[in-house]
Structure 1
Amino acid sequence: MLQELIVALIVVVALLQVCRRYLPATLRQRIVYALARKGFDQERMAKLFKTQSSCGDGCGSCGSCETKTAADAPQDTKAVRRVITLHVQR
């Protein structure tokens, strides 16, 4: 019985590690928000999932819900290119 509990605890910790490392940030934020709605501490869950605690709850502190007006839009309309560096090992 004790061995099964220890194995279950190890599996839960491994799942948490995979979630916080490999899930996209938006999905981690949704998980934190869902757990906060179920009664868990949002600050603590945000630390566990390495995300901001205020995203998804509509508080307006992160600015992601705000719409940009024409005055706030950047003057330069060129697309920004991101370069992904590949390291080839031969």
Structure 2
Amino acid sequence: MWQELIVAVIVAACAFHAATKYLPAAWRRQIVYTLARRGFNQDKLAKLFKTQSSCGDGCGSCGSCETPAAPDAPKDTGVTRRVIPLHVQR
């Protein structure tokens, strides 16, 4: 009896994980919408199912909608190339 209950919980957890990770985004949004209508917290569900607003919806979080800055001189990143000598021992 207990083994069957534990297996059922594990299978349900795996199905939930697969639903949050591998389902198409449209299906995940539909699941969030349906569960939110049933009384669950939509913000927490959206975070759990990873359906927050993305860069393409004009939210302004990625900065791609802004006008690009004027090109200046090449930036110095401070990275210098070093040669590491190898000493082969035979």
User: Normalising by structure 1, what TM-score?
Assistant: 0.52
Q: Which amino acid aligns with 1:24?
A: P
Equivalent pairs counted in the alignment come to 55
Cα RMSD between the aligned structures? 1.9
Residue of structure 2 equivalent to 1:22: 22
Residue of structure 2 equivalent to 1:40: 40
- State the alpha-carbon separation in 2 of the partners of residues 38 and 12 from structure 1: 20
Q: C-alpha offsets along residues 30-66 of structure 1, whole Å, 9 cap, x if unaligned? A: 10000011111212211221112x8xxxxxxx67xxx
Q: Which amino acid aligns with 1:42?
A: Q
Rg (Cα) greater in structure:
2
Q: Which amino acid aligns with 2:21?
A: R
- State the alpha-carbon separation in 1 of the partners of residues 37 and 25 from structure 2: 18
Residue of structure 1 equivalent to 2:72: none
State percent identity of aligned pairs.
58
- State the alpha-carbon separation in 1 of the partners of residues 20 and 43 from structure 2: 15
- State the alpha-carbon separation in 2 of the partners of residues 39 and 48 from structure 1: 16
- Equivalences for residues 1-90 of structure 1 within 5 A: 1-52=1-52
Q: C-alpha offsets along residues 5-32 of structure 1, whole Å, 9 cap, x if unaligned? A: 2111111111111111211111100100
- State the alpha-carbon separation in 1 of the partners of residues 29 and 43 from structure 2: 12
Residue segments in structure 2 that go unaligned for 5+ positions in a row: 59-90
Residue segments in structure 1 that go unaligned for 5+ positions in a row: 55-61, 64-90
